[in-house]
Structure 1
Amino acid sequence: MIVHGVVVKGVEVDSQTRCKHYHTERDIIAIKFKCCDTYYPCHLCHEECADHKALTWPKEEWNEKAILCGNCGEELTINEYMNSKSTCPNCSASFNPGCQLHYHLYFD
């Protein structure tokens, strides 16, 4: 699926990056995986679609743009995303605050 000009791979991805696994109104981010430089809506989509294990982003690389807002298409750095209080700093769309429970799957 192409979302705001960016390829987002996954299972049943919609135009705002929701997927088969996470599809509430606020599930509107995709994460660029460190291991393959590819956006996926979630760790489960990566697990189902990629042919390798996921790698986490080391803290010294948290200034890399690796989060895509599915509402406006803004690419955020990991630091911007983690400090956003679950709101896009560009368009003010609400992100799912429950995503914080999965940070350890994406970020060191």
Structure 2
Amino acid sequence: MALINGIDIDNQGRCVHYHEENDVACLKRAQCGEYYACYLCHDASENHHFLASDKNDSPVLCGVCRHK
């Protein structure tokens, strides 16, 4: 199962910033290849700014089923 990073994330990938029912899409960071619940969680946790992965590199992960 893919690891989702973030602040106060639930078991479906929602975080403190995005926590509505449909907020389950996690984003992959281009440089480090890590999935984060949102760009705000990434920027609060890392020492570099979020830059999304290329669309050919599975940039989105579903927090519910964990498929890319």
Cα shift at 1:55: 2.3
Which residue matches 2:57? Answer: 64
The number of equivalent residue pairs is 68
Larger of the two Rg values belongs to structure: 1
Q: What is the aligned counterpart of 1:52 among 48, 53, 57?
A: 48
Runs of 5+ consecutive residues of structure 2 not aligned to the other structure = none
**Structure of higher RCO (CA pairs closer than 8 Å, 6+ residues apart):** 2
Identity of aligned residues (%): 37
Question: For residues 24 and 68 of structure 1, what CA distance do their matches in structure 2 show?
Answer: 17
Counterparts of residues 1-108 of structure 1 (less than 5 Å)? 5-57=1-53, 61-75=54-68
Cα shift at 1:54: 2.0
RMSD: 1.2
**CA displacement, residues 1-33 of structure 1 (integer Å, 9 cap, x when unaligned):** xxxx11111100111000000000000111111
The TM-score with structure 1 as length reference comes to 0.58
The TM-score with structure 2 as length reference comes to 0.88
Secondary structure class of the residue paired with 1:63 = helix
Specify the code of the residue in structure 1 equivalent to 2:60.
I
**By percentage of residues, which structure has more helix?**
1
